[in-house]
Amino acid sequence: MDTKELLKKVRKIEIKTRRLSDHIFGGEYHSTFKGRGMTFSEVRQYQFGDDVRNIDWNVTARYNEPYVKVFEEERELTMMLMVDVSGSEMFGTNQQFKNEVVTEIAATLAFSATQNNDKIGLILFSDKVELYIPPKKGRSHVLRIIRELIEFKPESKLTNFAEALKFLQNVMKKKAIVFVLSDFIADDYHQTMKIVSGKHDVTGIRVYDKREEEIPNLGIVQMQDEETGELMLVNTASKKVRINYGKFYSQKVAYYKDSFTKSGAGAIDCRVDESYVKKLLGYFKRRG
Using one digit for the tens of pLDDT, what is the confidence trace for 194-217? 999 999 999 999 999 888 888 777
CB atoms within 10 A of CB 218: 10
Closest CA to 116 of 73, 84, 81: 73
Q: Which pLDDT belongs to residue 243?
A: 85
Tell me, yes or no, whether 61 and 180 share the same domain.
Answer: no
3-state secondary structure of 60: helix
Instruction: Supply the mean pLDDT for the chain.
Output: 85
Higher pLDDT, 235 or 227: 235
Same-domain pairing of 178 and 260: yes
Same domain, 110 and 141: yes
pLDDT, tens only, 159-194: 999 999 999 999 998 889 999 999 998 889 999 999
pLDDT (0 to 100) of residue 39? 55
- Give the per-residue SS3 of 239-252: HHHHHHHHHHHHHH
If asked whether residues 210 and 233 sit together in one domain, one would say yes
Please write the tens of the pLDDT for every residue from 242-259.
888 889 899 999 999 999
pLDDT in tens, 13-29: 888 787 777 766 666 77
Q: Is 206 exposed, middle or buried (0-12, 13-18, 19+ CB in 10 A)?
A: buried
Return the SS3 of 146: helix
Whether residues 68 and 198 fall in one domain: no
Enclosing domain of residue 65: 38-73
Cα–Cα distance for residue pair 130/148, rounded to 1 Å: 11
CB burial of residue 92 (10 Å; 0-12, 13-18, 19+):
middle
DSSP state of 202: E
The count of domains in the chain is 2
Note whether 233 and 269 are same-domain residues.
Answer: yes
47 and 139 housed in the same domain? no
What is the helix (H) or strand (E) element at residue 83, kind and residue range?
strand 78-84
Q: Which of 39, 17, 15, 35 is nearest to 26 (CA)?
A: 17
Instruction: State whether 83 and 117 are in the same domain.
Output: yes
What's the CATH code of the domain at 188?
Answer: 3.40.50.410
pTM: 0.79
pLDDT higher than threshold 70 for residue 119: yes
Instruction: Say if residue 57 is in the same domain as residue 197.
Output: no
Question: Are 90 and 68 in a shared domain?
Answer: no
How far is the C-alpha of 261 from the C-alpha of 162, rounded, in Å? 16
Per-residue pLDDT of 55-98, as tens digits, reads 999 989 988 999 888 765 555 789 999 999 987 765 655 667 88
pLDDT at 169: 94
58, 175: one domain: no
- Same structural domain, 51 and 182: no
